Structure 1
């Protein structure tokens, strides 16, 4: 055997154990719970945008626009949220010059420097505390007095800062508006001094503000607060005023109100064809005052069962301009509704889910 052949044979013998080890799959490492991060390190890590956006598939139209749970493997109720309210004081962490925050209309104002970097104490829908960091503040191009905030909440499950807002294809990196007061599990707004709601872009609270119903403003001497609240019911098709939605994400609707903030759309435009639409319902702050049909195609009888004694059947009621109700509130006149809406209705053959 030549010297070269001996060298090659020896080299192959040395490589065999290495090749065998590489071909053997490594044993799966057991998952360990996230290590608790000390407070000082936690605050130092805020606003670094290191946490990935998690994939969420919300059912129906969201109220706050926030994630239902930090646990992506857990199925959470429709009106659960990782963040429902935030306290203006005391400040958990802030620049040395910032002693306090106040909410003026649609913007947060600091007593000293800017608000970016401030950490506030928030609360989840289950009552558990959650810290919220303000990571950015961007004036709205349509209204410089309204500020978009980029926020992060401390995810105690993963032990990291994460955007609590649900990302959708059209808004992959959602921001939030600061709105006075809070919303409870029934979808009702509560005046709560010293508390605010960070309403995310893909939720009904923010959608209604962008449509023109800013609750801190007024029109012709009338506050828009009730119109905004009625809009949140309408946007989610919350007929019973109990917080349950009866629609699907991105369903096309048209709305028009008593104060003339928005008028009925009469001409076809991108994404809307009045010829295909029909009257759906009239709305008050606590839900629908009358209905012609449901938005997601379920039978009206299911709504009557969901909130018994709230609606009554009988002769159809004409509201004018072709709007006609088939069921109406037993305790309120449909004529007192603040706004009405039209929609396409569910496609033929579509089956609506009866779940939350």
Structure 2
């Protein structure tokens, strides 16, 4: 069955296999996030010297910046297996108990979207992280009995896109918390250069910079656009190189404009500017207008538009900023009002 991205876009197994092949295997290979890499290297080296499990690690930040990759690197660096799960899959304390009790000594457990775990599972995780022990309830009512179960020492790597939704008791039990930042264009160019070499396609510096400029500061998007450029080169070129013309044509075909906005981004901006006269407008109304789920608008579209200054959030709703009008070719708010509206 196909997987699904944060955007709701289905991803087949071949696409996921390619993404996996492009992931760096060590902190030395990981591009960007220099401060986080240095902090994690120190934490892992200290654990290795002391021959103990590394402290629990919380990775927060927007999707596509490398949280899953860093969890894989942690397991690789300490030489232990990686067990992967996700918050939505752990909806009962029993689910978590089964997972924790099956861990081997020193194993690394990665829980993606850890803030979406059930509350009962979160409370069980507190004790497991701190004392490597869980209490299992047997029976019901007055005859219920709590049976303690010791766990093998393990390292939990939690990933979240919404760290504010984590309860304080859970957040406090992580020995190290890192927030991943968006990438600079120069860092994305290095990501693209490395990935292009692995994919067997030559991308000169100019076209690399163009892909990086449209990648929204996100390595996952940069690699995805690079693969589409490679596909275009295979069909319309020699499949071994991508010049500026091929890059421009490929990204235009996939509706990625000069600053990285796609069809949905522009639809949201167009509705906000032309239909709602710049706002303010509620998120639900905006989502219905463009025919998309409100969660998708809030988690996928809105963060980037706010970050680049195209959209603002107010207590009354979303508003369009002046640069959004310029990008859509609408010079002023008045220009979107008809004579009958005056």
Give the TM-score taking structure 1 as reference length: 0.25
Give the structure with the larger strand fraction: 1
Give the structure with the larger helix fraction: 2
- Larger Cα-atom Rg: 1
